[in-house]
Amino acid sequence: MDYPELALHIAGQWRTQTAGGRRAVVNPATEETIAQLPLAGRDELAEAAASARRGFVQWRGKSALERCNILRTAAQNIREQAKAIAHVLTLEQGKPLAESLREVTLSADIIDFQAEEAKRLYGRLVPPRVEGILSQSVMRQPVGPVAAFTPWNFPANLPARKLASALAAGCSVVIKPAEETPGTCMLLVRAFLDAGVPPDALNMVCGDPAEVSSFLIDHPAIAKVSFTGSVAVGKLLGEQAARHVKRFTGELGGHAPVIVCDDADFPFALKQSLAAKFRNAGQVCASPIRFYVPRARFGEWSDAFVQAARALRLGDGTDPATQMGPLAHARRIEDMQRFVDDAVERGAQLLCGGHRVQRPGFFFEPTVIANAPTDSRVMRQEPFGPIAVLQPYDTLDEAIAQANALPYGLGAYAFTRDLHTAHRLGDALEAGMVGINHFGVSQPEMPFGGWKESGIGQEMGAEGLLHYTEVKTLTVGVPS
Ligand SMILES: NC(=O)C1=CN([C@@H]2O[C@H](COP(=O)(O)OP(=O)(O)OC[C@H]3O[C@@H](n4cnc5c(N)ncnc54)[C@H](O)[C@@H]3O)[C@@H](O)[C@H]2O)C=CC1
Ligand SMILES: O=Cc1ccc(S(=O)(=O)O)cc1
């Protein structure tokens, strides 16, 4: 399949003609327009919200086993179409095809896990403290229609996380994928509907992001908001949800440190670090950014890091030889340049890269910066691109303090061969997800979420499902 004709799913219909106009979807590797995306007008957003209300009543009435079976069928549909969906993902987002394929199959695994968890949404019976009470039970019920907002960096995985948990819990959803990458989400939505999710239980809209989110969060039908994206936008949406006392989950940005201990297996740590740093061109919320390396071994680490970064093959993600694709859109290139220029102006050393690649597409060189002052922008804000910062340290206490110094806490990593140090770091690093000797902290079975300004709540794992539920206590007395 080439890139599909795009449509929104509103009130049970796929719509290609909508009131909000259209916007071009661009292949970031070529800058060519590959499709026109219909945008929803306000009336259509209202239709989607009302539809989600109807869909909620239908969907929550199904048994947990029925929901599980339908979601597992959706996961199977996605697996069967994985190659075609991955191709669409690479065309609209740019990452290498092998990364897209892994993302799509992992999305199916996430859906399967949440589907199974739906059957384990246990309550409990609590012994009554007074006479005349037959039972006191604590149960979990679906929170209601959800407005879900996903970004462009993982066009399959991030919608899958939200759709899987919300639907497994019995919620209906209005999802707004990023306007840059709507095709992958559209194919996922189709897989859920084909599996038997009631048409009203799953709406997909696109439009002006701020207008859509504002409309849906304020709409009385919407009970919960789930957002993945920047800290700044997360704070805005969280505030807006809080005004209505609506539930809010935010998976926001990070600024992940990596502490390389002097006893680490350096070749192993380097190989893992390079793969993690430049995966998806660094556009990963838990991507490693600040590498803290013992001063005595700093030259060894930086020479090897730079050599490997320079050797990376950039190109169109559809070319099997490509190791790193373009950035997702033109604004990212400008932002990368600002990060680099600011660091250099403040006295950091640019060890390699630092420029846009002169060819069509939004390509930016793999970039390595050393000794960046703590007040430089790259040390304070998530670059969200192929920029690594290497910093020397003298003592492990100092490295831990530096690692924890920012108001973010999503991913944090360390490399050591000493079990005691591993536990010490695991305890001390202030982050929702800590990986010692590896970067694979995002797994369907494990909760994924941030501390501090990196977010509220978790996705995936058993915790992911709970965030789409409300607690209800039910007490039954003896009839008089
Ligand atoms: N945590 C994550 O996975 C992601 C984080 N980001 C962060 O955002 C920064 C800026 O990204 P850009 O695409 O350049 O800018 P951006 O802020 O325009 O867009 C980021 C994402 O948020 C959405 N968005 C923006 N304003 C929104 C609103 N008012 N309501 C609902 N959704 C909204 C966009 O559609 C897009 O998907 C990055 O540098 C990165 O730090 C971006 C994408 C994913
Ligand atoms: O942007 C956050 C993010 C999305 C996906 C993954 S993974 O592919 O599951 O590793 C990690 C981080």
Q: Report CA-CA distances (Å) from 166 to 261, 341, 365, 407, 454.
A: 41, 42, 39, 29, 21
Rg of the chain over all Cα atoms, to the nearest angstrom: 23
Residue 439 Cβ inside 6 Å of ligand 2? The answer reads no
Nearest to 25 by CA among 6, 1, 44, 2: 6
The two three-digit tokens of residue 426, written as one number: 């695991």
Q: ipTM for the complex?
A: 0.96
Backbone angles phi, psi at 112, to 5 degrees: -60, -45
Which residues, 6 or more positions from 84, have their beta carbon under 8 angstroms from its beta carbon? 1, 187
Q: Report CA-CA distances (Å) from 347 to 26, 340, 343, 355.
A: 37, 11, 6, 18
What is the four-CA torsion angle of 330, 335, 337, 342, rounded to 10 degrees?
A: 170
Would the pTM count as exceeding 0.80?
yes
Ligand nearest to the CA of 209: 1
Q: Is 261 a catalytic residue?
A: no
Å from CA of 336 to ligand 1 middle:
15
Ligand nearest to the CA of 252: 1
pLDDT of residue 315: 98
Ranges of residues in the chain with a pLDDT under 50 are none
**Burial class, 344, CB count within 10 angstroms (exposed 0-12 / middle 13-18 / buried 19+):** middle
Å from CA of 153 to ligand 1 middle:
9
pLDDT in tens, 111-164: 999 999 999 999 999 999 999 999 999 999 999 999 999 999 999 999 999 999
Residue 213 Cβ inside 6 Å of ligand 1? The answer reads yes
Residue 210 Cβ inside 6 Å of ligand 1? The answer reads yes
Catalytic residue among 251, 365, 382, 459: 251
**Ligand 2, atom 8: nearest CA belongs to which residue?**
103
pLDDT in tens, 230-281: 999 999 999 999 999 999 999 999 999 999 999 999 999 999 999 999 999 9
Q: Are 387 and 363 in contact (CB under 8 A)?
A: no
pLDDT of residue 480: 84
5 vs 264: CA distance, rounded Å: 50
